[in-house]
Structure 1
Amino acid sequence: MADSYYGQLLKDSPFLVTNQQLDTELVDKLVLQLNRIYPQILTDKEAHKFRNLSVPTSIRLAELLAHLKVKGEEACHEFYRALHIHAEDVYFSLPTRVSRRETTDPTGNKTAVDPRERFVLNDRGPWFFFGCFSVAVGLALLYYCADGKAFGDPRRVLGFTALGLGRQAKEVLISYTDDTNRKL
């Protein structure tokens, strides 16, 4: 039940009702979104009831959430979609969203996941990059600056460099070395 939108709405309802960021304007946007795009979830009469300005916003929001719980799983899902569209900061601060971002280690302590860990391309460090870049620059200099007398034909050197590369790179380098009509 905790994975369903209905279960999430049960857990998030107290937070949503007490959250000061959900002002009258935002509640109206959510009601209009649900009414216009999903009239089967919120009819015009119901939308008018939840947009009544004579009722305090927290009470209207509590009634809206109770109504969505009665409507079922799809209504709860669409509420979360509308909340994500119109109030992204509130959406990501929901208790169910915060608990999803946290992980539990084997000792039972909750630790937050470091968002930078998702973007690490490799763990070899800058010296690995520098080494690969140096090899590439060296091969380029050898190819363009060698006159053929010092190292022989640069095409043969390119043929040997294809040994450690992927299939497509090998095909390109080997086809270039096989091209005997091409002049340097």
Structure 2
Amino acid sequence: MGDSFHDQLIEDSAFLRADRRLDTDLVDKIILQLNRIYPQILSDKEATRFRNLDVPTSVRVGELLTHLQRKGEEACREFYRALHLHVEEVYYSLPTRLRLRDSLDPLAHPRAYQQRYVMNDRGPFFFLGCFGVAVGMALLYYYGEARVTGGSRALGMAALGLKKKAREVLIWYTEM
């Protein structure tokens, strides 16, 4: 990944403080998970302080993030794990997640793939010209054959895979 979880949390802190999707209930779930599963990261006393409803949620999130950054790499990783578990849409919209996703997505940065497969560089009019010549030659061949034989052998061959009525019509046409 390159960045440590601590560095990522520093970068994501401003986004997390401003994101309105982190409401009181979600912040409480994250705090409780960190407190119950990892009491060495968030003690009961600290969890109670961060769950104080008299303090606005954005302030509590900011204090929690500062606390986790002071605790170190393991605390930051567990915060990301709890965020991913409880609020996936916020987790996947974090600036560090978006940067990581874009760096792994080949469609987001096509310049990383220098090799392009170009059939020609003459443009669409060249293609249309070639297509017109091919259609003209096919029509000349088809109508030239129709005058000589009185019908098309290709239509007779095409009748082989069709149902009875269609086969009869095509065979009748080729016999004319």
TM-score under structure 1 length normalisation: 0.56
Query: 2:108 matched to 1:112?
Result: yes
Q: Aligned residue for 1:58?
A: 58
Distance 2:48 2:104 in 1: 44
Greater share of residues in helix: 2
Matched residue pairs, number?
110
Query: 2:76 matched to 1:76?
Result: yes
Matches within 5 A, 1:19-168: 19-103=19-103, 112=108
Q: Deviations over 1:12-70 (max 9, x none)?
A: 00000000000000000000000000000000000000000000000000000000000
Q: Aligned residue for 1:144?
A: none
Distance 2:39 2:62 in 1: 20
Q: Specify every segment of 5 or more residues in structure 2 that has no aligned partner in the other structure, as ranges.
A: 111-176
Q: CA RMSD in A?
A: 2.3
Q: Aligned residue for 2:5?
A: 5
Of structures 1 and 2, the larger Rg is shown by 2
Distance 1:79 1:90 in 2: 13
4+ aligned runs moved over 3 Å, structure 1: none
Percentage identity across aligned positions?
63
Q: Which amino acid aligns with 2:92?
A: F
Q: Which amino acid aligns with 1:31?
A: I
Q: Which amino acid aligns with 2:89?
A: D
TM-score under structure 2 length normalisation: 0.59
Q: Specify every segment of 5 or more residues in structure 1 that has no aligned partner in the other structure, as ranges.
A: 115-184
Distance 1:82 1:58 in 2: 18
Q: 1:104 to 1:39 in 2, by over 3 A?
A: closer
User: Deviation at 1:103?
Assistant: 3.1
User: Deviation at 1:113?
Assistant: 6.5
The answer on whether the counterparts of 1:15 and 1:94 sit within 8 Å (CA) in structure 2 is yes
